[in-house]
Amino acid sequence: MRILFPDSSSKNFEAGTTGLEIASDISRGLARNALLVRFNGRLLDLEEPLEDDGSIEILTFSDEEGRRTLRHSCSHLMAGAVQKLFPGTILGIGPAIDDGFYYDMRIPDFPGISAFEDIAEEMRRQVKEDIPFIRMEMSCDEALELFRERGESFKLELLDELREAGENISVYRHGDFVDLCRGPHVPSTGYLRNFQLLSTAGAYWKGDEKNPMLTRIYGTVFDSSKSLNAHLEMLEESRKRDHRKLGPELGLFAMGGEGGPGLAYWLPAGTIVREELESHWKKAHVKAGYQLVSTPHIAPAELWKTSGHYDYYHDNMYFLDVDKGEYALKPMNCPGHILIYKNSRRSYRELPMRLAELGVVYRCEKSGVLHGLMRVRGFTVDDGHIFCTGDQIVDEIQKVVRFALYFLRIFDFGYSIELSLMDPEDPERYAGEPEEWRKVEPALARALNEMGEDYRTVTGEAAFYGPKIDIKLRDALGRYWQGPTIQFDFNIPQRFNLTYVGDDGGEHRVYMVHRALFGSVERFIGNLIEHYAGNLPGWLAPTQVVILPITETQLEKADETGRIVSEAGLRCMVNGRNETVGYRIREAETGKIPFMFIIGEREAESDRVALRVHGEGDRGSMELDLALEIVKAGCRRPELPE
RNA sequence: GCUGGCGUAGCUCAACUGGUAGAGCAGCUGAUUUGUAAUCAGCAGGUUAUGGGUUCAAGUCCCUUCGCCAGCUCCA
């Protein structure tokens, strides 16, 4: 048979040759790293004999499918170990996930993570034994028989569904362990040396709270101990950077307890961070052609009925009585901005009209989803709404994307873009005319293409009211977070009958785009804290310079220097506490204050300071003016966008 | 919201099977006058999250409520 390789070379092999043998034929290294193959588009076990001509791709840990296969195989290994140690364990499902795997099981008398060492020990034993994973294909009835015998009630349920779907049934076995599984798997347990069990949690069977709760065990596996350790170190680093720990430690905000769940209280230092961020945001928006507006926190229920929120967002809203009428705290800013648009008859000459507001919204999130600043009940959306004509769409989208990327660049975030489109199979789900969608969706794609931005198209992920562009931001640890979002809305302009008068003198429906760049100021600051591990850029640092007189004798000089530094527009503090310099330096270092001016006898008599930079150390004694220039450069606010 | 875990001083943590709540750091006072990440001493700090129950006796056992954490679900 003729096998075609990805580099378009080809070679003849005897029919029945396996992927592993082909890999060995190419190189020993590839054979060692190979985990599975893609043959004519299908993912197959390495040891599956290939019978026909076809194109082959040998997949390793550096391929997404390779990682998933390794991890999925490890979930089998783990479940097998659990079943051996806890007889009577019934299997749920055990998929690979980003960075690892889990397995949901009903485990009798499971003691929790204290069992991890025993489970890991059993897994290591089976790794050493290098037990092969064996694929078996069978009829649905045979599989039912097999799993009925083994008491796997959840698997029987899955088999019933598979039968309805008319799927082929395959089963994988290693040692005594048997699991219903589509595959593929790595050849044997020996591949799974570098695993780590991570955590345990409850999870409902099929994610439905009416179903029984199973025990979920999370773990991960890598291709080498080196990459496993790097991953574990990253997890450790994530814990250290947790904004819920760093934020209160650095005096930025307080949460929880008497203040109510999901509500942040910004302390003076944190408020400086907010104010700096918001002030830059406002300046940048004015420069980018937005008009700033401000809308109330409450509005009559009628407004929310018109917008539709009253019906479809009711559970997330807070209501109150005002003058016997029903009011609601705003969960979104769009209706307010719409009223501003509707305040007068709009001409095409006014478009595009861009309105922006740092609008505080309240949403009644379920208690279980609250998470530090990332998910709260009251937060500030850096909201913007663009009203424009159909001809302006491409240009406006490009402007917004560029603007969003500007904000990510300021903070050295990476990013990846997703374009979410409607599901053409199910047009009923969506608001607006299909022809509008057919016009706008390609315009979004065109906007991104023209800018040369890479993006992933996800069909069926559009909101019901319109297609959208989501930009995920990637932080210093390589983690992705919800970032800027740009959403078209065919629904709300219709509900409010938003129009403009065109150059033909007729009324036209206006196009509307919602966009938020930070998403929420609170969450974005949470991201910044973790991204920078608390070492915020100089311009955001609540205190930028600490002045440390070595002894009381230099206190007066320190105060005088402090005045000069403040007059230079920097936030500074004099720390003349009765403590050793070493102690006060330590306070400044742990407080993550970017710069220190240390003034001893030598400096005091010559208008010099000894500059110390956070995280770097002593930069030596220098003229105050020079030190000030260095600090100013380190605390300079970012340039406004073009 | 659901399931599980947790809740002791501002923070980090002690207190054997129920038997007098304790330490370090932070805070305050004083001494010390300090040269690049912790000077020394003293003082103060608690209705053990909350309300109830069992007991001669509860931080410890049981129940309630609240909050936090993990996960599920949700996320216009």
The DSSP-derived string for A595-633 is EEEEE-HHHHTTTEEEEEETTTEEEEEEEHHHHHHHHHH
Percent of chain A surpassing pLDDT 90? 63
**A209-213, A469-473, A585-589, A625-629: the lowest-pLDDT one:** A209-213
Closest nucleotide to the alpha carbon of A605, via C1' = B35
Tell me the angle at which helices A268-287 and A521-531 cross, rounded to the nearest 10 degrees: 110
Instruction: In whole angstroms, give the CA distance from residue A588 to residue A592.
Output: 6
Beta partners for A508? A500
Closest nucleotide to the alpha carbon of A260, via C1' = B67
Please state the φ and ψ torsions of residue A19, each to the nearest 5 degrees. Answer: -60, -40
Burial A351-377 (b: 16+ CB within 10 A, else e): bbbbbbbbbbbbbbbeeeebebbbbbb
Residue A543, amino acid? T
* Protein-proximal nucleotides of chain B (any atom < 7 Å from a CB): 1-5, 30-39, 66-76
Quickly give A109 CA vs B19 C1' distance in Å. 33
Instruction: In whole angstroms, give the CA distance from residue A427 to residue A422.
Output: 8
Q: Is the pLDDT of residue A610 over 90?
A: yes
Q: Is A596 helix (H, G, I), strand (E, B) or coil?
A: strand
The model's pLDDT over A475-500, given as tens digits with 9 standing for 90+, comes to 999 899 999 999 999 889 999 999 99
Q: What average pLDDT does the segment A292-307 reach? A: 94
Closest nucleotide to the alpha carbon of A256, via C1' = B67
**A234-238, A277-281, A549-553: the lowest-pLDDT one:** A234-238
**A94-108, A203-217, A364-378, A611-625: the lowest-pLDDT one:** A203-217
Closest nucleotide to the alpha carbon of A366, via C1' = B1
Instruction: In whole angstroms, give the CA distance from residue A236 to residue A259.
Output: 30
Quickly give A522 CA vs B7 C1' distance in Å. 26
pLDDT for A461 equals: 86
Q: How confident is the model at residue A618 (pLDDT cuts 50, 70, 90)?
A: very high
Quickly give A114 CA vs B58 C1' distance in Å. 28
- The residue whose two tokens read 């390793």 is A60
Q: What average pLDDT does the segment A588-592 reach? A: 96
Terminal Cα distance for chain A, rounded:
59
Please answer whether residues A98 and A234 qualify as being in contact, where contact means their C-beta atoms are separated by less than 8 angstroms. Answer: no
The model's pLDDT over A79-136, given as tens digits with 9 standing for 90+, comes to 999 988 888 888 988 888 888 899 998 887 777 777 788 888 899 999 999 999 999 9
Give the residue nearest to nucleotide B66 (CA to C1').
A257
ipTM value: 0.92
Closest nucleotide to the alpha carbon of A584, via C1' = B37
Quickly give A202 CA vs B65 C1' distance in Å. 24
pLDDT for A2 equals: 87
Closest nucleotide to the alpha carbon of A367, via C1' = B1
Quickly give A569 CA vs B35 C1' distance in Å. 28
Quickly give A595 CA vs B40 C1' distance in Å. 29
Quickly give A623 CA vs B49 C1' distance in Å. 54
The model's pLDDT over A20-79, given as tens digits with 9 standing for 90+, comes to 888 888 888 888 898 998 988 888 898 888 888 888 888 999 888 899 999 999 999 999
All structural domains of chain A, each given as residue ranges with its CATH number in brackets, are 2-60 (3.10.20.30), 67-235 (3.30.980.10), 253-292+333-531 (3.30.930.10), 296-330 (no CATH), 545-634 (3.40.50.800)
pLDDT for A16 equals: 86
**A311-315, A426-430, A599-603, A623-627: the lowest-pLDDT one:** A426-430
Percent of chain A surpassing pLDDT 70? 100
Cα dihedral sign, A5-A8-A11-A15:
positive
Closest nucleotide to the alpha carbon of A552, via C1' = B33
Residue A620, amino acid? G
Quickly give A279 CA vs B74 C1' distance in Å. 33
Give the residue nearest to nucleotide B49 (CA to C1').
A257
Q: How confident is the model at residue A615 (pLDDT cuts 50, 70, 90)?
A: very high
Instruction: In whole angstroms, give the CA distance from residue A398 to residue A46.
Output: 46
